[in-house]
Structure 1
Amino acid sequence: MPENNSRQVNFALVQITTEQLDLSMDLYSEEKPVTMSAGLDFGIQSSQNLLKVLFKTTFHQENIPFITIEAGCVFAIDPESWNLFCSEEQGFLTLPKNFAGHLATLTSGAARGILHSRTENTPMNRFFIPVSNIDEMIPGNLSLPLNSEA
């Protein structure tokens, strides 16, 4: 498990969601190059110490998407670990970059599995979310407002 100030952070994956899955093979052309874009979003439900990570990726050609998938993972953070990140005086939950990156990597892996499962035995199964260093998408520690529930 990731550490914060040499203390172990305890958490559990409690839910995986498929927020969006659009598959439009009729928009795909063998002759055109394929590009990808990806993004992350984080939200909290502080009353239950829950953190949700959303990972979205789109495969497109000439800016026209033909595959879009957005998956989410909800993590329960134990109260002691939550308090390590929480600053009620400042009104923020601050996630260290390495911990946020770890949760984002788990979420991208879930999205990868969902895409594979939903396209298995179809021509679209050749498109997959590459294994990459997802935490590079996170520029630094993340501060999430405690009063904005996910």
Structure 2
Amino acid sequence: MKEEKASKIGFLLSNIRTLEFATIDSAYQEGSPADLKFNFGFGVLEEAKWLVCDAIVEFHFNECPFIIIKVRCEFEVDSEAWDSYVDHKRHTITFPGKFLQHLAVLTTGTTRGVLHAKTENTKFNQIILPTLNITDIVSEPITFDLDTKK
């Protein structure tokens, strides 16, 4: 039932943070095909009613990273929608998989832009975060523990 409400969750992209960015010249092999490691992390900031999505990206050759980037998008969730997903007895909140997928897509696009901006006018600018099938990475609802001190 709650999965159906996913398309009606109001939210705003409230903040973008580059948590980590590094290039390692010695590991870079120009002209060689690079491998990509990509993952997401999610969390909640209960007081602000924010859901955060981290994109963690690593480009590497033979397990040696040459670009590492971690970008966080912080989404302010509509108060009414937030409250509808809270389980007060368990002190948890569960967001639907489809909603999390949508935020992951937005975070991926943001990460692609940050990567371009950080590598502009460098040899690394030819490295582009490819399109990804987010449904292979994020598909299930996620439940978060809430602060029980309130």
The answer to whether TM tops 0.5 is yes
| Aligned amino acid, residue 84 of structure 2 | L
> How many angstroms apart in 1 are the aligned matches of 2:12 and 2:20?
23
Corresponding residue of 1:18: 18
SS at match of 1:5: helix
- The percent of aligned pairs where both chains have the same amino acid is 30
Compute the displacement of 1:32 (Å). 4.6
Q: TM-score, normalised by structure 1?
A: 0.89
Which has the larger displacement, 102-111 or 20-29? 20-29
In structure 2, relative to structure 1, the CA distance for the partners of 1:6 and 1:30 (3 Å cut) is closer
> How many angstroms apart in 2 are the aligned matches of 1:110 and 1:33?
24
Q: Which runs of structure 2 are paired with 1:49-64 in the superposition (5 Å)?
A: 49-64=49-64
Q: Report the number of matched residues.
A: 146
Q: Which runs of structure 2 are paired with 1:35-74 in the superposition (5 Å)?
A: 35-74=35-74
Which has the larger displacement, 22-31 or 65-74? 22-31
Q: Is the 8 A contact 2:59 2:67 kept in 1?
A: yes
Which has the larger displacement, 86-95 or 29-38? 29-38
**Runs of 4+ residues deviating >3 angstroms:** 3-7, 30-33
* Structure 1: segments with no counterpart, 5+ residues: none
Q: Is the 8 A contact 1:56 1:69 kept in 2?
A: yes
In structure 2, relative to structure 1, the CA distance for the partners of 1:75 and 1:31 (3 Å cut) is closer
| Aligned amino acid, residue 85 of structure 1 | Y
> How many angstroms apart in 2 are the aligned matches of 1:125 and 1:32?
15
Corresponding residue of 1:89: 89
> How many angstroms apart in 2 are the aligned matches of 1:53 and 1:117?
20
In structure 2, relative to structure 1, the CA distance for the partners of 1:118 and 1:134 (3 Å cut) is same
Q: Is the 8 A contact 2:98 2:139 kept in 1?
A: no
RMSD: 1.8
Q: Deviations over 1:31-50 (max 9, x none)?
A: 65411101110111111211
In structure 2, relative to structure 1, the CA distance for the partners of 1:71 and 1:36 (3 Å cut) is same
> How many angstroms apart in 2 are the aligned matches of 1:4 and 1:110?
26
SS at match of 2:29: coil
| Aligned amino acid, residue 64 of structure 2 | I
Q: TM-score, normalised by structure 2?
A: 0.89
